[in-house]
Structure 1
Amino acid sequence: MIADPLILSIILIAIMFVFLLSSIWIGVSLILTGIVGMLLFDHNLPPVLSVYDKIGDLLAGSLYDAMNSWSLAALPMFILMGEILYKSSISTKLLNGLKPWLAYIPGGLLHVNVAACSLFAAVSGSSAATTATVGKITLDELKKRGYSKELAMGSLAGSGTLGFLIPPSLIMIIYGVMSDVSIGKLFVAGILPGLLMASLYSFYIMYKAKVDPSVLPDVEETFTWTDKLHSLKDLAPIFSLIFVVLGSIYGGFATPTEAAALGVLGSLILAAYFRAINIEVLKNAILNTVKTSVMIGFIIAGAVFLSQVIGFLGIARAMSEFITELGLSPLMLILLIGIMYIILGMILEAVSIVVMTLPIVLPIVVLAGFDPLWFGVFLVFMVEMAQITPPVGFSLFVIQSISDEKIETILKATLPFFIMMVITVVLITFFPGIVFYLPNQMIK
């Protein structure tokens, strides 16, 4: 009889990876892992019903609880908003509007990736959509103008991950639902860290342009004030959408779910204003939204069931006690957790990492004295790193598909921006006020 919950956790993790490596859907893998765990270790469960009755009751209850969340309704709405912007030509207008304003900064139009990803992240919430949308527009254009393709790919890979951090963020919605942390506060908390990381990217580009002029074209492109003013007609509507979505949340006028509905309405109005909407675009956007939302919802449901099983078997409590008995300092604990997430990021995608680890990790970090709001931002950084770490770095695959470059080349180009991401994590760890400042000021 195996009774040690720590051994149970290792066995369950091994079972889960067997299912995942068997190419079974992630949601199904999580549910099967929970069922196998209960069948193997039913002696750890309260002896009230048969194990099959317990599995049925727990599975039905957890699946209902996972999906019966008003906050979760924001997820498909933000996905639909991003899809409408992606399928229409609005994203192209965003880039064209930014060009005249960035041309005179050291590094020139290489900053377009950082600026465009930051802005598109604020209306999409998806790193994949951000990377694909901006990359399709910028990579070929920057290469034609004589900019370093390697630096363009690296800045795209790093900046594309901002879709998870700069609100509205799909990962933050999932974290908020699973951890019972205010999604509005999470959105606000992600702003300064996101801007900090984007600034570090831009500083690196400026540094690179100064020490290695070969990354820039021989002939600089010039823009007049007339060009800048003309570009505002493309930028103003998009900035208005960002203001409506985020302003309604921060001003207390709307919940994240209501703001998401406003975002969908705003994206439809923008698409109509730019004459970039038709039945085909709308149909594809809705279809992709349904596919993505169902996939994420199924994963969340499976994760909630597995977390219930973990609670029944006493694994979370035992893990917390084990970590506590190790006597690790809070900083050493968060370092080990960060390393764990980086390793997981090499084999799993972002949503899976969050939903599979949060039931075990969150009680431990709270017990160590970390605020769940701060840990939510920290976790987003960790899954951002997962987007650009091989072999399952989703953003790397997106860039490879639109650049036709070898993955080794993309990895080399991405490394400096990965380091910038690590620096940002260190800064928010030693200076948590970066995370808490805006929530304390704007949401009481």
Structure 2
Amino acid sequence: MTNLQIGMAGIAIALGLIALRIPIGVALGLVSITGIAMMTSMTVAWGMISATPFDFAGQWELSAAPMFLLMGYLCTSTNMTQGLFTAMRLFLARLPGGLAVSSVMASAFFAAASGSSVATSAAMARIAVPEMLKHNYNRGLATGTIAASGTLGSLIPPSVLLVLYGVYAKVSVGQLFMAGFLPGIMSALLYILMIMVRVKRNPALAGNDQSRASTQEKLDALKEIWPLPLLIGAVLGGIFTGIFSPTEAGAVGTCIAALIAIARRALTTAAIKDALINTAVSTASIFIILIGSLFFTRFLALSGVPTAFSNLILSVSTETWWILIAVSLIYLVLGMFIDSIGLMLLTLPLILPLVQGADLNLVWFGIIVVKLLEVGLVTPPIGLNVYVIKGALGNVVSLPEVFRGVSWFILMDIIALLLIIFIPALSLYLPSRMH
């Protein structure tokens, strides 16, 4: 077999192992080590195993990932996210579909703090969906709102996906954070607009949602949720003004979260233990995927597959529109079956050489990739967030109901994706203003 044939076979075998539910990092690592041994020797493969993980994991920029994860888990374990939905509901109740609109806003804040789409969807499914169903909301609208809104944390910073993309693509994480802010907010606003228009045209979708709140109730709600906007504003403000780097921002954010928890008398030993354990587990799983993807990158580079793939795509057309269509199709199809972090790290070794060869802006392209990953989380037949919603609610709703409800949000995601592509300033304006 030629090196190129070994590389193509390796990709097919890796996808097959992932389909069999073998952990992505393990699948990529096994395929890569075997492939490199076949193309060179076992000595070379063993040398890579012994040196590469330490060298890669020791990068200073990667320390941002566990720090942001710890910040998010501290917020959750000390109940800083508690009351988000209630507060949003009190302030937005008068809007058409007020409970669904409130769910979008609460999910956006929760996702920004936790950095996890799956965690946001699971938590909000238990909080917001029962409340909407109690007010006779359409089941598809109630569940689709949470499934789609949970993905907002991928773009709204601080985002672990953007950290990993930045480190892998050697792009400023701070610029990526600023680049994701406006597209993330735009996505949330498109969701809200769609909900309001649909409910305005068909009030039955929102059942008997007639809740109203007094000024005092709104003020009381603000007392519960002030820590989260303060924390997110401090982290992003510090990065934007250049007070600290994105890597330092993770540690600063964790310290601020801990200080807020102390001020609220919520930083218990149990909360610290819970946050540390969850951070360690999440960090370990992410780093295993990262190291496996790094092996995979070396394997593909030796095989020549990225060059062949780039030549194949560019042989059709060298225009930007064609490259973006090809990349979008890859992510939309694979996103139905593979989780977002695994998919991004699986595909970047193939995609980045193509994008760099076409001289596309890597910050702008990173936001497009993350938006495509968001869409994949809710796309049938295996939209991960949809299954998370179903698992959290049990037999209260059926999978077809959730998929029908989320279809409207996928349409909004496609509109948002097109706006990001055709108006690069949405992604690039804030990075250009950074200090």
Work out whether the TM-score is over 0.5. yes
1:355 aligns with 2:353: no
Structure 1 residues 339-350: aligned runs within 5 Å: 339-350=329-340
Residues 284 and 237 of structure 1: is their aligned pair in 2 closer, same or farther, counting only changes over 3 Å? closer
Residues 178-203 of structure 1, C-alpha deviations (whole Å, 9 max, x = no match):
00000000000001111111111000
| Secondary structure of 1:348 counterpart | coil
More off after superposition, 284-293 vs 52-61: 52-61
- One-letter amino acid of the counterpart of residue 149, structure 1: R
1:223 aligns with 2:213: yes
Query: Which of 182, 191, 204 matches 2:194?
Result: 204
Alignment correspondent of 1:255: 245
Residues 170 and 342 of structure 1: is their aligned pair in 2 closer, same or farther, counting only changes over 3 Å? same
C-alpha RMSD of matched pairs (Å): 1.8
Alignment correspondent of 1:411: 403
Residues 275 and 217 of structure 1: is their aligned pair in 2 closer, same or farther, counting only changes over 3 Å? farther
1:2 aligns with 2:7: no
1:40 aligns with 2:27: no
CA contact (8 A) 1:92 1:137 kept: no
Structure 1 residues 108-257: aligned runs within 5 Å: 108-218=98-208, 220-257=210-247
Alignment correspondent of 1:16: 14
Residues 18 and 116 of structure 1: is their aligned pair in 2 closer, same or farther, counting only changes over 3 Å? same
Structure 1 residues 389-428: aligned runs within 5 Å: 389-404=379-394, 405-428=397-420
Alignment correspondent of 1:26: 24
Residues 271-307 of structure 1, C-alpha deviations (whole Å, 9 max, x = no match):
3444444322322221111111000001101101110
Residues 213-240 of structure 1, C-alpha deviations (whole Å, 9 max, x = no match):
1122436111122222232212322211
Stretches of structure 1 lacking an aligned partner (at least 5 in a row): 43-50
| Secondary structure of 1:161 counterpart | helix
CA contact (8 A) 2:98 2:209 kept: no
Alignment correspondent of 2:58: 68
CA distance in 1, matches of 2:298, 2:323: 24
Task: Report deviation, 1:61.
Answer: 3.1
CA distance in 2, matches of 1:359, 1:248: 32
- One-letter amino acid of the counterpart of residue 202, structure 1: I
CA distance in 1, matches of 2:391, 2:103: 17
CA distance in 2, matches of 1:219, 1:260: 40
Alignment correspondent of 2:432: 440
Residues 204 and 22 of structure 1: is their aligned pair in 2 closer, same or farther, counting only changes over 3 Å? closer
Task: Report deviation, 1:391.
Answer: 4.0
- One-letter amino acid of the counterpart of residue 20, structure 1: I
CA distance in 1, matches of 2:312, 2:136: 56
More off after superposition, 248-257 vs 158-167: 248-257
CA distance in 2, matches of 1:69, 1:37: 26
1:388 aligns with 2:378: yes
CA contact (8 A) 2:8 2:305 kept: no
CA contact (8 A) 1:82 1:129 kept: no
**Identity of paired residues, percent?**
33
CA distance in 2, matches of 1:395, 1:144: 22
| Secondary structure of 1:190 counterpart | helix
CA distance in 1, matches of 2:380, 2:52: 33
CA distance in 2, matches of 1:303, 1:131: 27
More off after superposition, 179-188 vs 97-106: 97-106
Residues 81-133 of structure 1, C-alpha deviations (whole Å, 9 max, x = no match):
22222233322222222222111122212111111112122222211222222
Alignment correspondent of 1:47: none
Alignment correspondent of 1:280: 270
Task: Report deviation, 1:32.
Answer: 0.9
